[in-house]
Amino acid sequence: MSRHGKKTKNLGKTIWLITFADLMTLLICFFVLLLSMSTMDATTLARISAHMGSVSPIAMSGPGRIPERIQVIVQMLREPQNVLEKRKRLKDLLFPLDVLPKEMAHGELEKNLEVLAHPEGVVIVLTEELLFAENSFSLDPVGKKLLDALTPVIQAVNADINISGHSDPGTEKAKDAYELSFMRAASVLEHFLQARLPPDRFSLSGYGPDRPMHADANPENRIMNRRVEILIKTTSRISSFI
């Protein structure tokens, strides 16, 4: 047998190594891809999801599964037209007893918290009593804890958020009411940004006394006028992905 014939025979015995090397290369690429997906930024995943469909619970920061409570809330926020029927249930899910500050009675929360349907989504209303001292725009410790309880919900919903401040037309000076309402909204936004929520999802409004919830002089109603509204818009932000 010629040398050429021997070389061809030997090549035939080892040619499987080429296929094996190609397979190993593909497997390495596959595992690298899996690793990169597992560590991908949560906001990026959320925007990809928004591009493919409606409001998604994917945008949850940190490892692990989204808690069942948050998943239920997200599902309810997808159907703002049904919020009024399930308002009590949604309140209990947003602020369960185990996340409430110890110094706060549940009745106090119930009296100063409202959940409303809105053409663009769902509004969470928190009065001055829950967040601020009178005529102040600095969040008090209880207010910070309540906003901490809302943070994972906002993380889990891929939707724009508007934070608006409101004052009472009968008890606050008109000259300062607009500034106070805006600064209160800004304080709430600052707290969410400190939790590393993406700033491009938020907008701010300070309406002063222009949009009271109640027009009469009842003291309890006036408390509801001095409030911050967090509007969670349920329309996905497709344009931010493109």
Q: Side chain identity at 213, as an amino acid letter?
A: M
> Model pTM?
0.70
How far is 147 from 96, CA to CA, in rounded Å? 13
- Has residue 105 got a pLDDT over 90? no
Between 224 and 60, name the one with better pLDDT: 224
Query: How sure is the predictor about 9, in pLDDT bands with cuts at 50, 70 and 90?
Result: low
Neighbours of 208 (CB within 10 A): 21
- Has residue 61 got a pLDDT over 50? no
Strand residues in the chain grouped as ranges (E): 113-118, 121-127, 161-166, 202-206, 227-233
Neighbours of 205 (CB within 10 A): 15
Between 180 and 64, name the one with better pLDDT: 180
Between 113 and 31, name the one with better pLDDT: 113
Burial class for 78, CB neighbours closer than 10 Å (0-12, 13-18, 19+): middle
How far is 130 from 142, CA to CA, in rounded Å? 7
